[in-house]
Amino acid sequence: MASHRKSRPVGTRVAGIRTPALATAALTSVALLSQSANAAPADDRPSLEEVEKKVDDLYRQAESATDNYNAAKEKTAKQHKQVDTLLDDVAQRTQKLNQAREELGSFAAAQYRTGAGASGTATFLLADTPQDYFDQTQLMGRLTNRQKGAVDDYVSEQSATMKKRQEASQSLQALTETQSDLKTAKATVQKKLADAREMLSELTAQEKARLAAIEKQKQEEAARKAAELAQQQAAAEEAAQEATAPQESTSTPTDSSYATKAAKALAFARAQIGKPYVWGATGPDSYDCSGLTQAAWKAAGVDLPRVTYDQVNAGTTVSLADAQPGDLVFFYDDISHVGLYIGNGMMIHAPKPGAYVREESIYYDGESAIHSVVRPA
């Protein structure tokens, strides 16, 4: 039979006194809790790599929001112009309508004075519903051809004016909605940039130094990848020249034409190196990424759309291996960044807020970040 006697707890001796095991366990728990409490802030604090990733993500989101801002801004400008044109048209038509109304009124007054018209004709002719003229065939029968022509003109002008007023009203409503989108995009950009700045400001001097070291390693890796691409492109170009030497005369004009335009675009871009990135900017003192590429190719006589997700469709897509100086290199799945390829795996671009227009490897954010390459001319 098993014994029901409880065994005595095993204790430890401290200064010759046996300490119950329960007390020992309690002391151990307190010690562990104390250690956990001290370690909690460090565990909750994100690692430097996580901070870097979050900051980069915030900058990317800000740049994507900048494209939305640019698109809304461009749309707002077009709608402003459209509304102004419509309102001018409405004003001119209203003036013509008033003149037609006055002419009809003079006819009605003359008929009333001579008794040619029925009582109240003057008031009727000045009504706001011209269609009533056609409903009163007996009155139309009394009108002269000139008067009928005046009525027809009035009815036509009234209809056109009402239509233009409706178009102007719809355009004003669309403009209001676009302005709201513009305001939202602007607020999003500012919020993302503020969050990124706050995260960076919380880093210690030691962490900032380590972050700079990580960034330097990324740049060195990007430069290595760019050098590899340059070698591959040089080898491919040499092989292509050997293979197509007899047909060189037929392909030169097209290549030469593009190279000439690309050289002008690149010369412009190089002249902007050192100018600050400013979201929504198109020069001449600052640029965002698509603002720089648009301005560079405009200097070469080629008009590009304003935003990256339109620029990516403004040309012929080519492989990265076939990229030539002047081509546009787009980044990320949402096509939120673009740079101008200068050869040897390098580009000129306006990187992000707080940075300046510069030359950099197209692998600055890793090979997977490259979306596509487009030849715009």
Out of 4, 80, 349, 371, the active site residue is 349
Please check whether residue 152 is in contact with residue 134, taking contact to mean a CB–CB distance below 8 angstroms. Answer: no
**Is position 80 annotated as part of the catalytic site?**
no
**Is position 289 annotated as part of the catalytic site?**
yes
Out of 4, 80, 289, 371, the active site residue is 289
**Is position 4 annotated as part of the catalytic site?**
no
Active site residues: 289, 337, 349
